[in-house]
Amino acid sequence: MSSYIGDIAAMTSTQSTSSVKKSSDSFGLDMTDFLKMMVAQFQNQDPENAADTSEMLNQMVQMSMIQAIADITDAVSLSYSASLVGKEVTVGTFDSEGKLQEVVGTVTGTGSYNGSPVIYVDGQMYSMSSIMAVGRLPSTEPAQPEQPEEPDVTEPGETEETGA
């Protein structure tokens, strides 16, 4: 068991690209953090009340599943952003006064910035979450009141034809 713990400790001490945290996940734990906590628990456990290894393995499987779901979500998001290339979108941004500005343009490219998918609209970078619509939003100007229809008046001496 001690060689198993040593292997896990060695895994947690090496820095890999998959263990680098995204800036948006700075308050969450990744698999590396979980493994470090598990090693610390094994190293500091009471010999007379040893930790349940099956429970630890269940937790490792759950963490692996969460990581896989996060990876799939990232892949789907990047795939969706790539499907927008060449399409017109409406993007919402805030100006210096805090007013919402709608930017309409064609998506010229996609990518990833700090682990989040982004799109490029007419040379400017925007987060995927700032997309308000694919296409142009309808006008928000107040609708003109409709003119009432003139009643259909029959002149005297004329008859209405009815289909019977």
Joined tokens for residue 79 = 């795939």
Whole-angstrom Cα distance, residue 85 to residue 79? 11
pLDDT digits (tens, 9 = 90+) for 87-146: 999 998 888 888 888 889 999 998 888 878 889 998 889 988 888 888 888 876 665 666
Fold for 84-134, please state it: SH3 type barrels. (2.30.30)
Pairing of strands 116-121, 100-113: antiparallel
Q: Which of 22-31, 42-51, 87-96 has the lowest mean pLDDT?
A: 22-31
Residues 127 and 112 sit within 8 Å (Cβ to Cβ): no
Residue 96 is classified by DSSP as T
Among 2-6, 27-31, 46-50, the minimum mean pLDDT is found in 2-6
**Sequence spans of domains, the chain:** 2-81, 84-134
Place of tokens 């006064």: 97
Asked whether the predicted pLDDT for residue 80 surpasses 80, the reply is yes
Q: So what's the pLDDT on residue 142?
A: 62
Beta-sheet strand order (sheet of 116-121): 124-127, 116-121, 100-113, 88-94, 131-134
